[in-house]
Chains A and B, each alone.
Chain A
Amino acid sequence: MGKAKRAGARRQVHKASAGAFGGPAKTNPNPFEVKVNRQKFQILGRKTRHDVGLPGVSRARAIRKRTQTLLKEYKERNKSNVFTDKRFGEYNSNISPEEKMMKRFALEQQRHHEKKNIYNLNEDEELTHYGQSLADIEKHNDIVDSDSDTEERGTLSAELTASHFGGGNASQKEGEDGDKPKSRKELIEELIAKSKQEKRERQAQREDALELTEKLDQDWKEIQTLLSRKPQKSENKEKKEKPQPDAYDLMVRELGFEMKAQPSNRMKTEEELAKEEQERLRKLEAERLRRMLGKDEDENKKKPKHMSADDLNDGFILDKDDRRLLSYKDGKMNIEDVQEEQSEEAGDQENDQKEDEDESDEEEGEDGSRDDTEESDGSDSHSDLESNIESEEENEKPKKEQHPTPGEKLPSDDQKAQRAAGTELPYVFAAPESYEELRSLLSGRSTEEQLLVVERIQKCNHPSLAVGNKAKLEKLFGFLLQYVGDLATESTPDLKTIDKLVVQLYNLCQMFPESASDSIKFVLRDAMHEIEEMIETKGRALFPGLDVLIYLKITGLLFPTSDFWHPVVTPALMCMSQMLTKCPVLSLQDVIKGLFVCCLFLEYVSLSRRFIPELLNFLLGILYIAIPNTKSQGSTLVYPFRALGKNSELLVVSDKADMATWRRGSLSLHWASRLSTMTATEANHRRLSCLASCLALLKHCVLMYNALPSFHAIIGPHRALAEHLVDCGLPQDLQELSRSILSEIEIQKQHYRPLICEKSKPVPLKLFTPRLVKVLEFGRKQGSTKEEQERKRLIHKHKREFKGAVREIRKDNQFLARMQLSEIMERDAERKRKVKQLFNSLATQEGEWKALKRRKFKK
């Protein structure tokens, strides 16, 4: 109590002193009351607070304060009831009365506004209209139906007004009009009867209105059912309600119903679809570019694929898959369905709609989203159907880019059905647990059947069907890869089958990117390990088999090759680099393999246009071995090619006749693997084909790298050899090709712009943060931790406060004692006064009596 009081007192002191010194009512304090605390020394930096004091004033203030508080308490010490005045600002003189009223009103509103129950959301202040609660009006307790009614309500009837407020005039008028004037009582009765009748009429009217509303509601409901989403139901309902509908009505209803069918997504036009696809590709391309530049390598990447609702790839397979499994139960009917991709599905839809509907009913249970996408699917399937017809006509011809549905890879329906009937492939395959299993499943079958088997395995074990299927399919990818490798290493590689299996690999890879990349990494590591081992033992390596080349090609098909860094593609690039640098060219097969690797290399970097030294070295070497040593002498060569030796003229063709009969064609991958015996002419033709490919690749390189700053330094050796090649007596085709390369090189003018480093920010001078040392302050405890200091400060403060409180209490007691004393003194004085008065009166009485007595005596 003491403390609070003291704080208050101090505040008051401040205010008072402010008022005393700075206020307008500046009263010069009595100089005798001012006490100056003189300082002995002036100390810089020390604030003096108590240099001037007004002991008299402050004592008076303290006493006043105590009389207001302590004394009051003291006086009311034996009283139990208290009067508290809660009026806002009643004793506050600073607020003007208007303001006071405003605030009081606001407070009242606020109090009113406060919710009594937090769950009662609607307990708002009541809104009124003309003094009536709006809530009541809304409830239509007092129905105001028509406008006329309200008018009536608003302006009271003249009669009524007249009778109520008109005084005697109206009756007089009536009296004048009528035969005999009606009595007052009669008039009033008439009035009552009239008003009652009026009331009844109004009631009847209201009932009518109610009835009408009800009817209207019912009508609306009927229409509503027509408008509702489920036409079937409403129709049924209607049938129940009206057992014999008119044909015309029926027609009308049907038409209406059709018109107001459930709004669905608009069927997209061809352009829109194309646009959407373009948009999707654009997005993916942007993503690819971002990765190619490799600027945000460490940033988290987005999900690999964004599939739009109309995407044909993944989600759709899911739908179709479920469905196909169902159709298994139907038996032969759906064989085509089983074999075909989604395009066939569309055909089915058109052919037997009923079945489709049944199915879709079934499907609704499984897949709700299908309903929504039905429309768009339909449009797709139409276009697919068209393309399918095309593909029937020309089976081998590749389709348009727009529709990546692999419909073309399968023979037409009829053939399919025949074959299916003939060979009787089982429909359900268990996923192979080992590679041998897969091999036994696939071996001895034709390409189409193998495809079918793989497809069926994939479908029977779709991840959405069972828990373990994901792992099974992930393994399937690895097995398929191995199978492809095996196919490629056979004596006559089955490239056709590989060609088809690639699609399956792509699909699987899209589903399981992680495991697919692991499998690819595994085969690449194997290949690299083989090369490394050979280098360690023999010092050089042989070109790996066709399987490795095909793995590399598949890697390029499955993963984006333009990325700055990619977990699979970068090792694959290293692998190809090793092949081109470590494997010497010993035979024509090696040349073809090397050219294939070159081709792959170029394809990998076709988008990113990155620089590949090994590729150019290899092409240089190939050119070198195509030119007789006598001419090519002196040109720089890079390992693994040697300037002299057994293979330094591997590609030189000296037979003029062979040159004349040679026709330019593409190289067959079979040549890379088969060690077949061939005639000299054949060999020469192959040599020339190799040289042609080499030149074409070189041209490609020239076109790709002509923007590089040191293009001429790179291409110089090639140019020299190409010049030799021109006058080598080669077929016309090749000569033209080399001439065009030379001219391409000539055209390219190089500009050597001097290099300039990017300006880096100037390194800021080293700044040392200043060391802060506390100024030694007299009287403060030094050299202790912060907590210690804080503790000491608090102890000190507590002590001071304690002292202050004790002083206050003491002063309070003194004050009280003084008060008690003065009370006692007052009381005593009163008593004395009264006693004195009594004595006085007695004395006067005595005196009077004595006087009387004296008088008596005198008398």
Chain B
Amino acid sequence: MDRHLASAGSRGELGRLLQAVLTSRGQANAVFDILAVLQSEDPEDIQEGVRTCSRLFGTLLEREELFVGSLPREDGVLAGSQGATHKYKVWMRHRYHSCCNRLEELLTHPSFQVKELALKTLMKFVQLEGAKPLEKPQWESHYLFPRTLFRAVVGGLLTPEVDHSLLISQFCEYLEYDDIRYHTMQAATSTVAQATSQQSEVSPTFWNNAFMLLSVVNLPLQEHDLTKFYVKHTQTSDKWKVIHLKEHRKAFQEIWLGFLKHKLPLSLYKKVLVAMHDSILPHLAQPTLMIDFLTSACDVGGAISLLALNGLFILIHKHNLEYPDFYQKLYGLLDPSIFHVKYRARFFHLADLFLSSSHLPAYLVAAFAKRLARLALTAPPEALLMVLPFICNLLRRHPACRVMVHRPQGIELDADPYDPVEKDPARSHALESCLWELQTLQQHYHPEVSRAAGVINQVLSVPEVSIAPLLELTAYEIFEQDLKKKAPGSVPLEFIPSKGLLGRQDHLCTQFFTLT
């Protein structure tokens, strides 16, 4: 209660001080009292202080009562012989400067409200400063932006200490503005470069913050008028870089390349790769510059190379990248774990895409079909329901591969000619083999799988089966479907009566388990 009263009192006090500073220059020293509140421990007090500062310097900026131009040292000016107004302006500018510094510090405050308020205040200053620049334009229609202040803001966001993901998502709304976006990219580039040059080991929090910030930067796809500015300008000039999408793209490319050339944590790799194909590659000025990153990611193995394939494919497909071992790499990625990883749906979607060309050689498609069939022997039902139509689709697309399910003149063999260890699909002899695995899976315990595998018994129908709805199928969904399915008649019952939990003598459970 006391504290509340105190805070209420301080609020009144602050209001009074604000009034005093704004009304007469004589009472300007009250600014120190206001700035002192910012150092307070209590978050609410700090918030009050920030609000007061915001009002105070906002008004001063609007009134242009701050010194314009490169700031001289405070001591020198105060001791000098310039006019009182000049002295006041310089002094006030210094106070403004220290206020901004404090606000930047507050960006790392533990309380989110404080952080948010500090950010908002800083952005308000950015806007006001942009409108009434604190530096003199060097030539006519010179583009002025409070770069120093803004860089400080971005630098505050990209701290190595605190995870700023929430704050960055708040920052998103400013990124709607074209100039803010442009300058964010520039400021971030320099911040990243600075951070990595200073220390050899950078904390993962920094990378996370940087990635968060980068991933929310969304460039427009078409070049229309980039005139949605946060800082209001009376007139725009065609010479300004910020107007052109090309410059934006350059900045975008610069920041991503700068970001990706460093050694990133593994989880971040995955996130970057997931976003690569639709939010990074289309916006780059020169997408081919990503080749190095993608090829190295592709060599990492496992899920990462799987994800890198998507970006590579776009480069191959749209930007004429020559990548000789692409299919061999893809072939190498097929191992039993693909049915269990989180990116299963994505992988098979891509694989479907990669193998959709009808110009692929038959041996390659055959190798893929055979490999997938082999892997299907270890797959759970939900994956089987997807991969079996997938294999059948491959056979449908490539009639030359149909010998794998229909070889009327074939002779009986002693061993499967397919070599599962061979890394090169061309030498795997898959085309000489048959898909006996599918025949095996006709014996699968799940009726749907058995039915799906039974398709090869007949001549394959011409239209392909769309696997899109099957990609996201989970075991739980299958289970629910099975439960909901109604039996046509009554439920069949076991006719041999049970006499105990473990069943009869010849049951397996009785052989291996006891109840005692």
Contacts and interface: CB of A to CB of B under 8 A. Distances in A.
B379 A613 contact: yes
Contacts of A752: 412-416, 434, 436
Contact of B491 (A398, A514, A524): A514
A570 interface: yes
Contact of A573 (B413, B445, B490, B494): B445
Contacts of B486: 567
B443 A756 contact: no
Interface centre among B411, B413, B440, B445 (most CB of A within 10 A): B445
A560 interface: yes
A606 interface: yes
B485 A558 contact: no
Interface stretch (B70-78, B87-95, B351-359, B500-508): B500-508
B493 A525 contact: no
B495 interface: yes
Interface in B441-484: 441, 443-447, 450, 456-459, 475-476, 478-480, 482-483
Contact of B497 (A409, A506, A577): A506
Contact of A301 (B341, B489, B498, B512): B489
A610 B443 contact: yes
Contacts of B491: 304, 513-514, 516-517, 559, 566-568
Interface stretch (B305-313, B320-328, B400-408): B400-408
A754 interface: yes
Interface centre among B406, B413, B446, B494 (most CB of A within 10 A): B494
B513 A669 contact: yes
B515 A574 contact: no
A303 B489 CA distance: 8
Interface stretch (B57-65, B332-340, B361-369): B332-340
A187 to B, nearest CB: 97
Place the interface of chain A in its size category.
35 or more
Contacts of B415: 750, 752
A499 B405 contact: no
Interface in A551-584: 553-554, 556-561, 563-568, 570-571, 573-575, 577-578, 581-582
B337 A638 contact: yes
B439 interface: yes
A755 B370 CA distance: 14
Interface centre among B341, B410, B440 (most CB of A within 10 A): B440
Nearest to B416: A752
Given A398-B505, A510-B493, A697-B512, A755 B445 contact: no
A382 B503 CA distance: 26
B377 A714 contact: yes
Interface in A613-644: 613-614, 616-617, 636-640
A669 B380 CA distance: 27
A92 to B, nearest CB: 68
B516 interface: yes
A743 to B, nearest CB: 19
B495 A281 contact: yes
Contacts of A693: 512
Contact of A708 (B335, B416, B440, B515): B440
Interface string A491-517: 000011011101100100110011011
Nearest to A636: B336
A681 B480 CA distance: 44
B478 A751 contact: no
Interface string A667-689: 11110000000000000000000
B482 A571 contact: yes
B508 A613 contact: no
A301 B483 contact: no
A323 interface: no
Nearest to A612: B445
Given A566-B492, A638-B336, A755-B439, A696 B445 contact: no
B19 interface: no
B26 to A, nearest CB: 64
Nearest to A595: B512
Contact of B493 (A528, A550, A560, A668): A560
B45 to A, nearest CB: 40
Contacts of B483: 521, 524-525, 567, 571
B151 interface: no
Interface stretch (A14-22, A121-129, A224-232, A291-299): A291-299
A641 to B, nearest CB: 10
Given A498-B501, A709-B439, A755 B374 contact: no
A751 B475 contact: no
Contact of B412 (A516, A578, A753): A753
A708 B436 CA distance: 9
B488 interface: yes
B378 A284 contact: no
Contacts of B341: 639
A37 interface: no
A604 interface: yes
A614 B380 CA distance: 6
A708 B439 CA distance: 8
Given A509-B493, A577-B475, A298 B488 contact: yes
A326 to B, nearest CB: 27
Nearest to A755: B434
B445 A560 contact: no
A752 B414 CA distance: 6
Contacts of A509: 493
A577 B381 CA distance: 8
B499 interface: yes
Nearest to A306: B495
B435 interface: yes
A638 B340 CA distance: 8
Contacts of B410: 753-754
Nearest to B376: A613
Contacts of A559: 491-494
B68 to A, nearest CB: 57
Interface centre among B411, B450, B515 (most CB of A within 10 A): B515
Given A499-B500, A574-B479, A666-B512, A757 B380 contact: no
Nearest to B510: A666
A696 B416 contact: no
Given A506-B497, A636-B336, A596 B513 contact: yes
A404 interface: yes
Interface in A820-834: none
Contacts of A495: 501, 515-516
Nearest to B413: A752
B396 to A, nearest CB: 13
Contacts of A474: none
Contacts of B500: 499-500, 502-503
Interface centre among A570, A575, A754 (most CB of B within 10 A): A754
Interface string A793-814: 0000000000000000000000
B514 interface: yes
Contacts of B489: 300-302
B135 interface: no
B138 interface: no
Contacts of A605: 445
B446 A574 contact: yes
B514 A755 contact: no
Contact of A299 (B406, B412, B488, B509): B488
A304 B491 CA distance: 7
B487 interface: yes
Given A567-B485, A595-B512, A713-B374, A514 B499 contact: no
Interface of A: 281, 284, 287-288, 291, 294, 297-305, 313, 398, 404, 406, 409, 495-496, 498-500, 502-503, 506, 509-510, 513-514, 516-517, 521, 524-525, 528-529, 531-532, 550, 553-554, 556-561, 563-568, 570-571, 573-575, 577-578, 581-582, 595-596, 599-600, 602-606, 608-614, 616-617, 636-640, 666-670, 693, 696-697, 700, 708-714, 749-758, 760
11 contacts: A506-B498, A577-B446, A603-B509, A604-B445, A639-B336, A666-B511, A708-B440, A752-B414, A755-B456, A756-B406, A756-B407
